[in-house]
Amino acid sequence: MAVPKRRVSKSRSAKRRTHYKVTLAKPVKDESGEWRMPHRMNSEGHYDRLDD
| Domain span holding position 43 | 21-52
Total tally of structural domains belonging to the chain? 1
Cα→Cα distances 8→16, 19, 20, 40, Å: 11, 19, 21, 45
Cα separation of 50 and 47, whole Å?
Answer: 9
User: Which of helix, strand or coil describes residue 21?
Assistant: coil
Whether 38 is covered by a domain: the verdict is yes
Res 50: pLDDT: 52
Whether 16 is covered by a domain: the verdict is no
Whether 10 is covered by a domain: the verdict is no
The whole-model pTM stands at 0.39
Per-residue pLDDT of the chain (52 residues; tens, 9 = 90+): 788 888 888 888 888 877 777 788 888 887 778 888 888 876 777 776 555 4
Res 47: pLDDT: 73
User: Which of helix, strand or coil describes residue 8?
Assistant: coil
